[in-house]
Every structure is written in C-alpha cells, then in structure tokens.
Structure 1
Amino acid sequence: MKAYSEMGKDELLALKTDLEKAYDEFKAQGLKLDMSRGKPSSEQMDLAMGMMDVFHSSADLTSANGTDCRNYGSLEGLQEAKELLADMMECRADDVIVYGNSSLNVMYDTVARSMTHGVMGSTPWCKLDKVKFLCPVPGYDRHFAITEFFGIEMINVPMTPEGPDMDIVEKLVSEDDSIKGIWCVPKYSNPQGISYSDETVRRFARLKPAAKDFRLFWDNAYCIHHLYEEDQDNILEILEECEKAGNPNLAYKFVSTSKVTFPGSGVAALAASRENLEFIKKQMTIQTIGHDKLNQLRHVRFFKDICGMRAHMMKHAAILRPKFELVVDMLEKELGGLGIGEWIRPKGGYFVSFDSMEGCAKAIVAKAKEGGVVMTGAGATFPYGKDPKDSNIRIAPSYPTLEELEKAMELFVLCVKLVSVDKLLENM
C-alpha cells in the first residue's frame, strides 16, 4: 500500500471522494453501536450464572472458621476469601483486606483517607499547599477522575514498551516532595495492553521518594485477564520487590473480580504491608462493620480455588479472543502501510490502543459517532481529558457481538482514512 503522505494533492482528492461516498453509505444504514466502555458482554456474564445456584434458603452460610456470614463482623474479610484474592494477586493472604464490589471505590477511599488523615501519621494532604500525582499516559480515565476530583495536580509520564518512563519517574519523585503517588496498571495496561518489565517493577520498588508518604497505586485490574492460554505476560510481584528493596510500605495493590464474575457484584481487595493495613483499618472500623460476606463466600464456593478462577478466565478468553483479533487484523489489513496510525496487539486486558496522526483523534471519534458508532471520547486516556497530540483512541471490543464489532471497525478504519486525508490536504 502507498503511504498517504506520499500521495499528491490530486490523488488525495480522488481518494477523499471515494471515502466520502463509502461513509455516506454507512450513515444511511442507521447504525447505533456503543463501544465507549470496556464492559463485559452478556455472554461473558452468563459464564458466572452458576454463582446464583451456590446458595439456597437452606444452605450452610457459615465460613470455614464458623463465622455466620449473614451477620456483622470479619472486618478484613473471610479468611478463605482473603486466600482466594491473595492467590489472584500473587501475594500473602495476611497482606489482604477484602472489600465490597468495586476496586475503584477502594482507590477513591484510599485517596480520600490520605486527603483527610494523611498516610501513616503524615500531614493530611488537604493541609498541604500542593499535592501532585504522576499519571502514565495514555492511561485509565477513572484514575485521573479521582485525582482531579480532589484537586490533585496531575503530571503526565509517557509510557514505553517496558512500562512508564522510569527515568522521568525516578527524577520527579526524588526531587519533589509534593508528589504523593503514581497510578499504575502493571499488567495489560489500560489502554495499551503493555505489561511492566521486571526491570521497571524493580525500579519502582527501589524508588527513593522525597515524600515519605508517597505511594504506588498499583491497580492490578487485569492480572488474570489473558487472551491466550499459552502466551501470557507475567510480572514481578510488587509487594515482595518492595520488601527486598527495603521499602515495604511503598505500594498499595488493588484488585477486583468485576470483569471475572459480575461487574456490579464482584469482590474487591487491597493488599499492602501490615503497617499500611493497620492504619487503613482504623478508618474502616468507623466506616463499616464489615463488607458483604455472603458475596465473598459465594465467590469462594463457586471457584473453590485459584485454579477454578483461572479456568473460568479461559472461558472469558474464548469469547474475547476473536474480538481482539478481529480489531487488530482489520487495523493491519486496512491501515497497515498507510502511515496514518499505529497500534499494539495486546495479549490480555480489555482494550486496543490506536494512535492516529497528530491532531486527528477528536475528529475521528466525532466522525464515527456521526456514522453510528460511539467510542471512548478522544482525550479520555489523558489527565483533564487533554491529549497533547490529539492522537490516542481507546478501542473497547468486549461488549458488541462479533458481527456488530466487524461493522463498527469497518466504519472506524474508514473514519481514520477520511480524517487523515483531510489533515494532509489541510497541510498542503
């Protein structure tokens, strides 16, 4: 294929005419497809329907240690639930607190607690003149929304194929004591699907922050969300690496079963050092008497152990894999060699990240919406919704059917071509 940048003005104008005709035909179809968020499909949620049969009115609802799960108590969560979630996170059960259904809720609480009561005796962040967070970009919009909500200044850190640019992270963290944290999605990152290299994880663990209350907000959202059984990314366990580096209190590790069982009724957990957990529990004793133990018990009895959970995730992979392959194959077939976009073929996670020519992402997303396909807003993968290059677009393949996804991708690549031609003509 001839790169668009090598075409003359007449070639581009002729191409534009053909593309506009194809686009008008799409608009005439009246498509109404939504690819704006990484939601599991109904087919995926059907995989967990057996959880509904775990309990009945005469079921034994006591935990392994005899706790009646219908009643108050078990602030840190059921022991068997702690063990299951610890195996999911590859850490020790003693380092885990099991919460309600949402890890996002736990992350919000962790930031809020730091704002009002500090971190393990430090000055509450709300009393400081300036609080900053490092934000690997492109990244997860809901992470950025939390920090923005609390008025925390966000600093972009570019992602590399190995993870965040650690030269930048180390320099900023060591020099500025107003930097209190960094958002991390270490395995199959949102949206690029990048997994942190061993060296990146070790450099995180060895950080020497100027702020003693600096923390890694380690969101292990996709820790078991592989697309392939034989080709999976594995990363070093951050809490163990922090201990080895003499920084045992450096990291908070978050996880949930939101995209394992039911997004609205999963189980979330936080793992951290014992000192961190003791400080966190002081707030929890005021906040709650205990989270939903019946749901914790339901998850344990449904999966039985981590082997059951991993087998369950391969059923998810069987549904998701063809969708991801369709997206990347179509990008390669339709856009490969044209010089108007770049993408990564992920081995797990929930998204495909697409980078258009600079200054084109917003126009592409708007064009797709006009044609009948709603996508994640351009800029959403950057703090404050501002992508400096206006180039990153997050593609979420999970929710549509394969047929809908194919139609949506046909429109998407058409929009990329059309907007790219317009940009090149504009610059002539």
Structure 2
Amino acid sequence: MSLKDLSQDQFTELAERTRQQYEELKARNLNLDLTRGKPSSEQLDFSNALLSLPGEGDYKDKTGADVRNYGNLEGIADIRELWAEALGIAPENLIAGDSSSLNIMFDLISYAYIWGTNDSERPWKDEETVKWLCPVPGYDRHFAITEHFGFEMVQVPMTPDGPDMDAVEELVKDPQVKGMWTVPIFGNPTGITFGPEVVEKLAAMETAAPDFRIIWDNAYAIHTLTEDQVDNPNVLALAERHGHANRFWYMSSTSKITHAGSGVAFFASSRQNLDWYTSHASIRGIGPNKENQLAHARLLGDVQGLHTLMQKHAGSLAPKFDAVIGILRDRLGEYGVAEWTEPKGGYFISLDVTDGSATRVWELAKDAGITLTKAGASFPHGVDETDTNIRLAPSLPPLDEVRTAMDGVATCVLLACVEAAEANAK
C-alpha cells in the first residue's frame, strides 16, 4: 500500500490527522538531538576505570620502556598486539597513535598531496586534477577532507553488498582517480557490510593510477548489536596476494569503545606504506600518548576483554535501534513513503523518504524541536540530488527520548510526503 492507493477521502483524513499530530508535536516544545553518532553517558561509564589507569608506579610497557617519556612513534606493543589480534592482522603492520583516526586520514592525504605517496610519480598537488571515489550515502567527515583539498569527488552508488563494483572498476581506469573512501563493516550511515565478492574485487582490480589508495575506515569492525561478530577480512594480505600490497590504508580506533575523546587510533598497512608514513610523521611529532595506550591495554586485558566490553555497548545500543526501526515500521510502513536500513551493528540508520522530501522533513523536525543531521549530509558537498536521504543517530539520547524523537520524525515524514502528494496533484 502507498499514499497513491488511498481514496480521496482516506487521503484527506490522513492529511488532516497528520497535520493535527504535527501541531501537537510542536506544542510540546521538545529539544531532542539525533545528529551525531556519539556514545551515551552510560556507554562512556563502561570505561571509567581508564581514569585511574595505568596506575601509580605502573609506567612500563611489556618491553620495559617508560611510557611517560618521549619516543616510540609506532606505539607500544601491548596495545598493538591486542588490536592486531582483534582485527586479524599482523602487529608489524599496525601503528598505534593518538585518539583520532580521522586525524591520521587527514595526515595521509596531506602527505600524499604535498609529497606524493611511495608509489606516486609526482605530488598530488602537481596533478592536473585529483579524483576520489565516494560511495553514497557515506560519511560526511570523509567527504569534508577530500573537499578541503579540492579533489573532484565522484559519487558511486551503494548496493546492499557495498559499492557498485561495475561503476568502481570502470572509474579506476582513469589515472586521475587516486583513491576511494570506504566504511566496510556496519557502514556510516547505511549499516551495510561489504560482501566477500566486493572485498575481493577491491583488492584485485587493476587501476590506472599506480598510487591508488583505498582508505579502509574499519571504525565499526567489532560494533555488533547482537552476540555475533561479522567476518573481518584481512584486506592487507588479500591485496598482497593480488599484487597490490600498498592499496589499503586501514584505519581503526577505540573512539566509540572506551572514551570517545581520548581513545587510541590505529593505522594498518603494508610495511612500505608505514615506512612512508613514519618518514613524515616523525617530523610532525615525537610520539603518541603512550600512557593512554598502556591504560587501554590494561583496561581491555585481551581480545576477550574487548568483546566483553562490546557486549555492554550492544546492551545499551540495541534497544535504541529496535525502537527506531519499530516506530518506522509502525508509523510509516503501510504508506510506502520511506525505506530504511536495519543494521546489525554500527551507530546509524539510513532513512530514505519520497524523492524531494528529505529537506522538508528536516525543516519540519527542526521547527518541532527535533534536530536531525541535515538532509544531504551523507553526500559530497552536502548535495543529495534526489533529496531523499536522512541519517539517524540514536546512540546519544536516553531510550525514552529516542522513542519520543522518532515518533516525531515519523510525523514529519508523513506530513512532508502528504505535502508533496498534494503539490503533485495540483
């Protein structure tokens, strides 16, 4: 069933009822926020033991080095070995840094722009143009980086198994295409996990640019909402087998696992790529916050400790995701005005509404005291040509506020789509 299947009387009754619900919503003077995928205070409390770690007199890592001092640009073995085991990669291919993997991504592109990569014929700043593949909908902060450097961002549609690989394989025949953004597991904002065939093709495909790089932002590799972990492919080994050892810049972090503003970020890649990176990073700084790295190693203990902590997060997040999806089904399912993802992990739900209506939904929600991520934010330059997509982030508010906000969002979606149907009927 959809709006177009309703009789005129049924449509008029729905329109009147929805407008009345919206006026009642506005009268509540709400102040609710579903904009960013931040951990809730409850989730942050799970790791409060960090604030007293590594502990008085406990300042040495497993090699005996004093973590309070300068040095060790690649990070301490304690946390690198733990994280490498969690990701299924070799510790020697992993660097532990400071809190933000986004900072490392920015640095990687900065270094390539100024000096070129270890496989570049020239610095990217000296190219006539640099093109970058952007699967959409995708992560707005990714797009902001490549926009900041003036790259031409080329949109690639997402499928249920990841980016449209027919499109990708055609686009990389252009030598000006230097890279691609990816969030391969429980992606932002769709929650999609790349299928094995997509991963294999990304590792194996031939590219015209010898310095083509895939930023493999595996931010949600272990962020399941269930008891099951997803397969996490070792793309470094896969790419090496296909003769493209330097293809992946692999990112990860503890940012939504421990304390979001003071975690540990990780960069994994081939040894050649790591040596290239450290040749620049060693000039930029002397070393990361190793006390914080040791505190994290002490808090987590081992991979089992990490997964035990993630189950606490799942216990906090899953009811909120269930609430969002349940309300969307109950309020919108029968009218055919919206589609949404139902992820098994990550931090986001992607909502698609009737073409041309997403901005109106955002405006209606804002006027009713519900702040949503701006329509189009998940597209390069913030432009969604069909004006359909809205990213929902239910993690931060308490569960009762998530329910209230989503019931309001459903009302806004219905009203926006009713208005669009009325306009089209004129």
Structure 2 counterpart of 1:140, which letter? Y
Distance 1:42 1:91 in 2: 32
The separation in 1 between residues aligned to 2:12 and 2:19, in whole angstroms, is: 10
Contact 2:134/2:154 (8 A) holds in 1? yes
CA distance in 1, matches of 2:106, 2:218: 15
Secondary structure of 1:133's partner? strand
Alignment equivalent of 1:268, drawn from 265, 268, 277 = 265
Query: What residue is the counterpart of 2:66 in the other structure?
Result: 68
Aligned residue number for residue 140 of structure 2: 141
- Does 1:237 find its partner at 2:231? no
1:100 aligned residue? 98
Equivalent residues of 1:103, 1:268 under 8 A apart: yes
Paired residues for 1:243-254 under 5 Å = 243-254=240-251
Give the drift of 1:418.
Answer: 0.5
- Match status 1:337 vs 2:346: no
Matching residue's letter, 2:247: L
Match of 1:201 in 2: 199
**Partner Cα separation in structure 2 for residue 114 and residue 366 of structure 1:** 40
Tell me if the contact between 2:235 and 2:248 (Cα under 8 Å) persists in the aligned partners: yes
Task: Give the equivalent residue in structure 2 for 1:131.
Answer: 130
Would you say the 8 A contact 1:77–1:98 is kept in 2? yes
Query: d(CA) in 2 for partners of 1:24 and 1:365?
Result: 16
Aligned counterpart for 2:372 among listed residues 375, 378, 399: 375
Q: Among residues 382, 404, 408, which one is paired with 1:407 in the alignment?
A: 404
**SS of residue in 2 equivalent to 1:64:** coil
Within the alignment, does 1:89 sit opposite 2:60 as a pair?
Answer: no
> What is the distance in 2 between the residues matched to 1:23 and 1:332?
19
What is the CA distance between 1:85 and its match in structure 2? 2.1
Alignment of 1:387 onto 2:388 = no
Q: Identify the match of residue 393 of structure 2 among 384, 393, 396.
A: 396
Letter in 2 for 1:339: G
- Kindly state the Cα deviation for residue 13 of structure 1 after the two structures are TM-superposed: 3.0
Name the structure 1 match of 2:254: 257
Report the Cα offset of residue 284 of structure 1: 1.2
Local SS of the residue matching 1:69: coil
Partner residue, 1:183: 181
Amino acid at match of 2:152: E
Matching residue of 1:217: 215
Residue 18 of structure 1 and its aligned partner are, at CA, apart by 1.3
Amino acid at match of 1:419: A
3-state secondary structure, aligned to 1:263: coil
Which secondary structure state, in structure 2, belongs to the residue aligned with residue 217 of structure 1?
strand
SS of 1:68's partner is: coil
| C-alpha deviation, 1:81, in angstroms | 1.5
Give the letter for the 1:129 counterpart. E
Counterpart code for 1:38:
G
One-letter amino acid matched to 1:180: K
1:94-131 CA distance string (max 9 Å, x none) = 00111110000000001111100101052111111100
Contact kept, 8 Å, 2:54 with 2:298, in 1: the verdict is: no
Q: What secondary structure sits across from 2:355 in the alignment?
A: coil
Alpha carbons 2:119, 2:210 under 8 Å: kept: no
Residue in structure 1 matching 2:78, options 77, 80, 83: 80
* Structure 2 CA distance for aligned equivalents of residues 199 and 284 of structure 1: 35
Deviations 1:181-230 (A, max 9, x none): 00000000111101001111000000111000100100001001000004
State the match for 2:291 in structure 1.
294
Q: Distance in 1 between matches of 2:9 and 2:322?
A: 35
What is the DSSP-based 3-state SS (H/G/I as helix, E as strand, rest coil) of the residue aligned with 2:239? helix
Q: Residues 321 and 192 of structure 1: is their aligned pair in 2 closer, same or farther, counting only changes over 3 Å?
A: same
1:326, distance to aligned residue in structure 2 (A): 0.5
Q: CA RMSD in A?
A: 1.0
Query: Paired residue for 2:115?
Result: 117
Secondary structure of the residue that 2:215 maps to in structure 1? Answer: strand
Residue pair 2:328, 2:410 contacting (<8 A) in 1 also? yes
Q: Unaligned 5+ residue runs, structure 1?
A: none
Equivalent pair of 1:125/1:131 in contact (CA under 8 Å): yes
**CA distance in 2: counterparts of 1:98 and 1:233, whole angstroms:** 23
Contact in 2 for aligned 1:4/1:340 (Cα 8 Å)? yes
Look up the equivalent residue of 2:313 and give its one-letter code: H
My pick for the range that moved more, 14-23 or 284-293, is 14-23
The letter of the residue matching 2:405 is A
d(CA) in 2 for partners of 1:99, 1:126:
26
Structure-2 residue corresponding to 1:27: 26
Q: Distance in 2 between matches of 1:401 and 1:103?
A: 27
Q: Secondary structure at the match of 2:73?
A: coil
Moved >3 Å (runs of 4+):
8-11
Q: Is the 8 A contact 2:87 2:232 kept in 1?
A: no
Distance 1:75 1:39 in 2: 28
Q: Scaled by the length of structure 1, what TM-score is found?
A: 0.97
The answer for the alignment partner of 1:228 in structure 2 is 226
2:362 matches 1:365 = yes
One-letter code of the match for 1:120?
A: N
Query: How many equivalent residue pairs?
Result: 424
Identity %: 44
* 1:304 paired to 2:301: yes
Whether the aligned pair in 2 keeps the contact of 1:195 and 1:235 (CA below 8 Å) is no
Q: Which amino acid aligns with 2:140?
A: D
Q: In 1, distance between residues paired with 2:126 and 2:287?
A: 30
Task: Extract unaligned runs of 5+ from structure 2.
Answer: none
- 8 Å contact kept, 1:89–1:220: no
- Shift of the alpha carbon at 1:12? 2.5
1:317 and 2:314 matched: yes
The one-letter amino acid of 2:305's match is: G
Shift of 1:294: 0.2
Q: Is the 8 A contact 1:233 1:347 kept in 2?
A: no
Q: Distance in 2 between matches of 1:8 and 1:154?
A: 44
The alpha carbon displacement at 1:240 in A equals 1.5
Alignment partners' CA distance in 2, 1:368 and 1:362: 10
Secondary structure at 1:362's aligned position in 2?
helix
Distance 1:383 1:311 in 2: 37
Give the partner amino acid of 1:407. T
The 8 Å contact of residues 135 and 156 in structure 2, kept in 1 or not, is answered as yes
